[in-house]
Structure 1
């Protein structure tokens, strides 16, 4: 858990540990495999799944707003070759103003 939090804190020094824990819990088994624990911004089908499943189903945001948040997160994490799925999802939720909902 501390590794995930430390990675998120590279982008948000005030990251909420409870939110990170909820994202880790939500992702569950996907984090066990190195490949599925990372997000590839070059893979449009993967980004579409993030928009549909994370933004749409979990956070309740669809359309351009969700796509823009994913795109901005890719830009934010551009220097990171291995984009942690936990960090990516955290930053997307932050971009959408949904961190408070995840904390509750």
Structure 2
């Protein structure tokens, strides 16, 4: 297994252990690949949930651009819901997992087909 496969396995374990869900491995793989090289950087791999600029970046770059969602308060609410489900005490909120959960929340799996 390569480094990316190791990371995907780590993200799948997070989805199971911290979010109590069985991951769709095909979608998780596609979302992880879509994150690009940021997953190999310790700072880029995680989401700083308390950083307002980071939350805006997720909304603008991922939800609006990648998933094609219209701007509105439901975007921020969904981000807050996913980050809350991940747990405020959990310091490592992996970007691929957050994006995966948001993709599933909005039913936008087709964005990765």
Partner Cα distance (2:33, 2:20) in 1:
20
CA contact (8 A) 2:31 2:112 kept: no
2:29 corresponding residue in structure 1: 21
Larger Rg: 2
Is 1:95 the counterpart of 2:102 in the alignment? no
Instruction: Indicate the residue corresponding to 2:46 in structure 1.
Output: 38
Normalized per residue, the structure richer in helix is: 2
Query: Shift of the alpha carbon at 1:103?
Result: 5.3
Structure 2 unmatched ranges of 5 or more: 1-7
Residues 102, 21 of structure 1: alpha-carbon distance in 2 compared, 3 angstrom cutoff: farther
Q: Which residue of 1 aligns with 2:3?
A: none
Q: Give me the CA root mean square deviation.
A: 1.5
TM-score w.r.t. the length of structure 2 is: 0.81
Corresponding residue for 1:57?
Answer: 65
Deviations 1:43-68 (A, max 9, x none): 00010000001100111113212111
Q: Aligned residues, how many?
A: 103
